Structure 1
Amino acid sequence: MNNQPIGVMDSGLGGLSVVRLIQQQLPDESIVFVGDEGHFPYGTKPQAEVRKFVLTIGKYLEKYPVKLMVIACNTATAAALSTVKKALPIPVIGVIHPGAQAAVNTHAHTIGVIATDSTIKDGAYEREIHKIDPTIKVISQAAQPLVSIVEHGLTDTPQAQQVVNEQLSIFDTHPIDTLILGCTHFPFLKKQIQNKVGKHVQLVDPAKETVIHLQTLLKDKNLLSTTTATYHLYSTGNKNTLITGANKWLHGNYTSCASLTL
């Protein structure tokens, strides 16, 4: 057993989709969350720059200390997972492999991927899917504007649906069986995305799959906690934005929220 918290990081508020799932599935686990809003967005930045940000946060979390780090950001996972794994003495997991595996498990012939500019340019999901099954067709689409919709609290608005419709229009002429929500911000737009692609398309949330993987890892390594959970949230930008997101998506279920300078 290990009662130290789990470290979770993201470029902004999207990682709260992972935090809320940990709260639901692993209610005894404490969490330290860092939203790097001071450097938001990651999706339009060079990978070398993103690696630097993620490594800095990883070293901060290691010293906190946390028992494990979750890179709850697809862009950061693509850019930095292997680097951070080598640099830190604690287990580090990302969101891409669990999401790719879950999509393949749907037995889809054609898988769609929506993600940030950087994740799509990197080809991380297509590469991971083809490692598992090279026969699957992958249609990738950058949908960077959806990140801003979430960060600005515009989910569940007509504007959100309009932007989703515009960004996912490629699937009107390129039909898919399964769609990977390849950014941890996107589950907050699941309703609008499902409206656009139709009920026949199965949506895969890598955040959900990552928490399933996390649960298995904690059990296998005997790292499960047995104490009352606490949730400490930090923002490298405006903490009020994080507070608003946490009140909305975590239902106010957090211990503290503060600014952080790294």
Structure 2
Amino acid sequence: MDKRPIGVMDSGLGGLSVTRVLRDQLPNESIVFVGDQGHFPYGIKTRKEIQQLSLKIGNFLLTHDIKLMVIACNTATAAALQLLQEKLPVPVIGVIKPGAAAVAKHGYQVVGVIGTESTIKNNAYKKALDKVDPTLKVISHSTQPLVSIVEHGQTGTTIAQKTVNKELSVFDNQPIQALILGCTHFPFLEKEIAQKLGQDVQLIDPAYETVRQVKEFLTNQRLLSDDASPRIELYSTGEVEDLVDGAQKWLPNGYTKCEHIQLDMEDQR
């Protein structure tokens, strides 16, 4: 048994969608979450910038003696997973390969992928899906404005539905069987997305397969915690009030503390 926490990072609030699944599926695990809202959004940054920010957050999480790190951000996974796996002394798991693995289990012929500009530009999911099923038709589309809807607390509003309808109109004439929510912000818009696409389109949240892989790894390595009172610590590089609002909405009564941190990028290499 290992009571050290799991580290989780995201560009903003989206990683709370992974954190809540971790909390539900692994209730004895402590979690340290960093939302990099001070440098939001990642989706329009360069690969090098994303790598620098992700590594800095990884090093911050190491100061909390984490036993494993989850990059709960598709953009950061695509840009920095390999780097963090090479640089950090703990296992690092991203969300893209698990998302592709979740699709492979169902035998779809045509799937859609929505994500940030960076994730779609890098063809991150297309590459991962080609490896698990080269016959699969993948229709990828950048829906960057949806990230801001979540960050600004506008889920469940008329403007959220209108924005989703506009951003997903690309699928009106391209029927898909499933849609990968290729940004961890998007599960918080699941209701609006389902309203737009209809009940015949399966929505795939990579968080569940990601957490399943985390659980499998911790089990195999005998690193699971049996802590009866695990802690969930949340940190933001931006306005901590925004993280508090998001946590109260998506992690009700589920966190130990929520604080602001400053990441000095000048010493980053």
TM-score normalised by structure 1 residue count: 0.99
* CA shift for structure 1 position 208: 1.6
Aligned ranges for residues 85-164 of structure 1 at < 5 Å? 85-164=85-164
Find the counterpart in structure 2 of residue 214 from structure 1.
214
Task: Check the 8 A contact 1:73/1:95 in 2, yes or no.
Answer: yes
Find the counterpart in structure 1 of residue 261 from structure 2.
260
Aligned ranges for residues 170-209 of structure 1 at < 5 Å? 170-209=170-209
How far apart are the structure 2 equivalents of 1:145 and 1:197? 18
Q: Give CA-to-partner distance per residue, 1:193-234, whole Å, 9 cap, x none.
A: 111111111111011211111111110111101112101100
Q: Give CA-to-partner distance per residue, 1:73-120, whole Å, 9 cap, x none.
A: 000000000000000110000000000111122211011000000000
* CA shift for structure 1 position 133: 1.0
SS class of match (1:187): helix
How far apart are the structure 2 equivalents of 1:140 and 1:198? 18
* CA shift for structure 1 position 14: 0.3
Find the counterpart in structure 1 of residue 59 from structure 2.
59
Q: Give CA-to-partner distance per residue, 1:111-134, whole Å, 9 cap, x none.
A: 100000000000000000001111
How far apart are the structure 2 equivalents of 1:80 and 1:230? 27
Q: Give CA-to-partner distance per residue, 1:21-77, whole Å, 9 cap, x none.
A: 111111100000000001000001111100100011111111221000000000000
SS class of match (1:2): coil
How far apart are the structure 2 equivalents of 1:252 and 1:78? 32
Task: Check the 8 A contact 1:111/1:177 in 2, yes or no.
Answer: yes
How far apart are the structure 1 equivalents of 2:146 and 2:33? 22
Find the counterpart in structure 2 of residue 247 from structure 1.
248
Q: Give CA-to-partner distance per residue, 1:6-30, whole Å, 9 cap, x none.
A: 0000000000001111111111000
Counterpart amino acid of 2:125? Y
Find the counterpart in structure 2 of residue 229 from structure 1.
230
* CA shift for structure 1 position 181: 0.2
Task: Report the identity percentage.
Answer: 57
Find the counterpart in structure 1 of residue 266 from structure 2.
none
SS class of match (1:102): helix
SS class of match (1:232): strand
* CA shift for structure 1 position 170: 0.7
* CA shift for structure 1 position 252: 3.1
SS class of match (2:172): helix
Task: Check the 8 A contact 1:106/1:178 in 2, yes or no.
Answer: no
Name structure 2 gaps, 5 residues minimum.
264-269
SS class of match (1:173): coil
Task: Check the 8 A contact 1:8/1:70 in 2, yes or no.
Answer: yes
| Alignment RMSD (CA, Å) | 0.7
SS class of match (1:138): strand
Hey, which bits of structure 1, 4+ residues long, moved more than 3 A?
none
Name structure 1 gaps, 5 residues minimum.
none
Tell me how many residue pairs correspond in the alignment. 262
TM-score normalised by structure 2 residue count: 0.96
How far apart are the structure 1 equivalents of 2:167 and 2:219? 39
Task: Check the 8 A contact 1:233/1:258 in 2, yes or no.
Answer: yes
Task: Check the 8 A contact 1:13/1:242 in 2, yes or no.
Answer: yes
How far apart are the structure 2 equivalents of 1:243 and 1:63? 22
